[in-house]
Amino acid sequence: MITFYKVVVFIHIFSAILGMGPGFILTTVVKSGKTMTELRHSYKIRHKLHIFVMVGGTLLLVTGLAMGFLNPVLFRMGWYVTSLVLFLAALAIGPLVLSPRSKPVKELLASHKGEEIPEEYWRLSKVLFQFENLENVIFIIIIALMILKPF
């Protein structure tokens, strides 16, 4: 018989695929735009993908904590605690770092006239993408910790 804990683990893994998978390509999607029309369209696609990231990320946190409460020994496992701390740090990067750096990009996309992508976009997006790449590295570390459980 399937236990409640196994159902939570299943939802946790499914949430990782649903949330983290699209999260890894958010930067790639917008790098494909060669004109302002393409770039705006890319950002619309990115926004739709980000909804999956938010839903999956929320389910990841909820199910991860639920597993800890159902199996409290996890809170004494280094890999679990480290993963949880890194995940919370990655969540904080969104509103504290990514959001303030994405607002000028969104404003530029909304206000720029013409098809040529302005140089300012490349400058702004470069900084934004560096932080997004950092966040992706954090998620890769979390995935490795979850799989390997090294400590």
Taking only the tens place, the pLDDT of each residue in 65-104 is: 999 999 999 999 999 999 999 999 999 999 999 999 999 9
- How much is the pLDDT for 2? 81
pLDDT at 1 over 80: no
Q: Tell me the domain boundaries of the chain.
A: 4-148
Task: Name the band, by pLDDT with cuts 50, 70 and 90, for residue 32.
Answer: confident
Longest dimension (CA), the chain: 62
Tens-digit pLDDT profile for residues 100-148: 999 999 999 999 999 999 999 999 999 999 999 999 999 999 999 999 9
What is the rounded distance in angstroms from the CA atom of residue 16 to the CA atom of residue 14?
5
Assess contact for 53 and 22: CB atoms under 8 A: yes
